[in-house]
Structure 1
């Protein structure tokens, strides 16, 4: 009972600290809004690939050029992503690119397919805007995919025809060379047309996650970490001011004091997480997933872990200044390594493995899984890891912390 009294006292003090409380709430909300909006065009979720206006310069009536423009760029599968504008010249295309009338340009040379029988194509000229790298990548992917397939089909056809021409059935007149060549060419063309869809969107999991969802989860994971230093500083401050020593003079045990301080940090972390999730949902329309029970469980477990770590830090350091250093540097390192600043997918494999030591990595990936749609079995490992970290930290902190 006395532990709960201590916890309530700590919670009451933190809630009265308006500056600190608003900082713990407003800062993650502001960063979520900024990062989620700034990266909305380059991350998944409900966002679609941007519509890319491609200016095409066809310098002659090359049959392959017509096929590329009509059957690939203007195909039904590409209409959602690609809009084609015919441009009279390369100079005009560069001018339109500067004036942002087009997002990228493709210049098809004269007699593009002139040496296709030998397995060679003249190089296309791709005009791009440095500020629209995503659109440039889309156009480059489409053109490269098409040209590679055309050359592959041409070389394959050439090899097959050469082998066929020297075969016994043809030499003996049992096989009509022209008929066989027509059938082979027809089959290769069908295969090429079937493989022209080079741009598609495929979410990982049942649903993809938007930038606002990702950074809402990332900021929640990062700013809850600050409760580690806040809880530790509370203990250190009360030890320095002899508050804990006076508590010991009352019928209050050492375990009750430490556990009460742990509960105070746990309560505040839960309140912070609850306010943050509700605000991001209603103010920023962030979808935290269809299973809110999963979100609540991960939030509670993470708050437990953070509170446990605060007791461990308090046991290992002697001064509040050291706690400030840990909060200023250590938590930032954890935030970067755990994916709260940049998605883990952009890190090398070694750093992705090293991120497993950070608790915010486990909670961030859990929230992303929940937003994508996942099962309880998937969350079993992160919940176990977080609980283990919290229990071990609380145990060591309780044993090692000195009240005087």
Structure 2
């Protein structure tokens, strides 16, 4: 009971701190909006965004018509618009009516002149892909042309030596063979992704929840030194309350404020940002319980191994940023090399984040036993180590 009173007192102190409210509750919601909106379309496993391509060619030949037909094929998510003049193409770009403009010079494909690819601002990636497609088409066409010329030359030499060759038949057969390969209808098999992906807003809602709950380790460590500086801890020691009760109260206080923070955050993201946290709120609360347990244990570690409020602030801030980066709260773990992903398996917020995203896409309870066990183990080890040191320091 006395531990609960200490816990409630700590939670009230945090809630009265405007800086803490801004940092722990409002800031994660704002960052979720910013990061989720900025990376919309990059994440989520969706299809390639539609690109509007404007093309102008002063002459029409087999090469220009072939490349334009290739760029406009179904499945490439490219809409090709033919401009009547170079000025019209540039006007389209100025009015942002197209995403990428392409100028095909006179004689393109038969000489060294290259196509001019001009992206509007923000479409550089699409322009690079289109440039690669044009260059590939030109190289393939040039290779076919050179091969045809070589074959026909060799055939002509044989004919001059006395062998009777039907040059027209050879040429027609060669053209037919090339066309059959070029325009062959191929069948592709599309394999589904191993896991259903989440949207950028979902990912960063989970990432910010994991990161800012981790900030409780800093806040919990600082509160211990604040009470020590204000002599509140000394006055508690003069009462019949045991040191063990004080430490348990501090631990529960950190957990209580973390739960308040998380429930407000999940409510704000669900109702204001329309973030889908999955079909099972019980799974979310289940993994959050063990994550908060581990975070509260880390808060005691910060308090145990720092000597002042300022030191706890510095160590806590740096530690949170490093753990947030390695745990995937800033960048998705899928972008990291294998070595970094292996390191992430020892970080609590990584286990919480991957569990949240798995729950969002629908996962059985059996997949949550491992992360909950790891988080429980991290919290238990942290509590044991910090309790031994804090018992000595407080006594």
Note whether the superposition's TM-score is higher than 0.5.
yes
**Superposition deviation, residue 112 in structure 1:** 4.1
Corresponding residue for 1:35? Answer: 35
Change in CA separation of 1:59 and 1:23 when aligned onto 2, cut-off 3 Å? same
Change in CA separation of 1:12 and 1:377 when aligned onto 2, cut-off 3 Å? same
Structure 2: stretches of 5+ with no match in the other structure: 157-162
Corresponding residue for 1:125? Answer: 116
**Any idea what the Cα deviations from partners look like across 1:90-131, whole Å, max 9, x if unmatched?**
45534432342321112334444548xxxxx96433222243
Structure 1: stretches of 5+ with no match in the other structure: 116-120, 166-170
Q: How far apart, CA to CA, are the structure 2 residues paired with 1:96 and 1:54?
A: 10
Corresponding residue for 1:218? Answer: 207
Q: How far apart, CA to CA, are the structure 2 residues paired with 1:156 and 1:263?
A: 79
Corresponding residue for 1:207? Answer: 196
Q: How far apart, CA to CA, are the structure 2 residues paired with 1:154 and 1:298?
A: 63
Q: How far apart, CA to CA, are the structure 1 residues paired with 2:180 and 2:292?
A: 62
Q: How far apart, CA to CA, are the structure 2 residues paired with 1:371 and 1:155?
A: 55
**Superposition deviation, residue 284 in structure 1:** 0.5
Q: 2:82 aligns with which of 86, 95, 100?
A: 86
Q: How far apart, CA to CA, are the structure 2 residues paired with 1:369 and 1:155?
A: 54
**Any idea what the Cα deviations from partners look like across 1:147-202, whole Å, max 9, x if unmatched?**
5665677788899999999xxxxx999xx9679646643541244x538x9xxx99
Corresponding residue for 2:182? Answer: 189
Q: How far apart, CA to CA, are the structure 2 residues paired with 1:377 and 1:75?
A: 45
Q: How far apart, CA to CA, are the structure 2 residues paired with 1:160 and 1:260?
A: 89
Q: Which moved more, 1:19-28 or 1:364-373?
A: 364-373
The DSSP-based 3-state class of the residue aligned with 1:274 is helix
TM-score calculated relative to the size of structure 1: 0.79
Contact 2:28 2:208 in 1 (8 A): yes
Change in CA separation of 1:352 and 1:253 when aligned onto 2, cut-off 3 Å? same
Change in CA separation of 1:348 and 1:254 when aligned onto 2, cut-off 3 Å? same
**Any idea what the Cα deviations from partners look like across 1:291-339, whole Å, max 9, x if unmatched?**
3333222222221111010011111112111111123333233333333
| Matched ranges for 1:87-106 at <5 A | 87-90=83-86, 92-106=88-102
Contact 1:56 1:84 in 2 (8 A): yes
TM-score calculated relative to the size of structure 2: 0.80
**Superposition deviation, residue 396 in structure 1:** 0.6
Q: Say if 2:71 is the partner of 1:73.
A: yes
Q: 1:336 aligns with which of 325, 349, 358?
A: 325
Q: How far apart, CA to CA, are the structure 2 residues paired with 1:138 and 1:153?
A: 23
Q: Say if 2:274 is the partner of 1:290.
A: no
Q: 2:262 aligns with which of 261, 270, 273?
A: 273
Corresponding residue for 2:296? Answer: 307
Q: 2:126 aligns with which of 135, 156, 164?
A: 135
Corresponding residue for 1:168? Answer: none
The DSSP-based 3-state class of the residue aligned with 2:303 is helix
Contact 2:93 2:101 in 1 (8 A): yes
Q: How far apart, CA to CA, are the structure 2 residues paired with 1:362 and 1:144?
A: 45
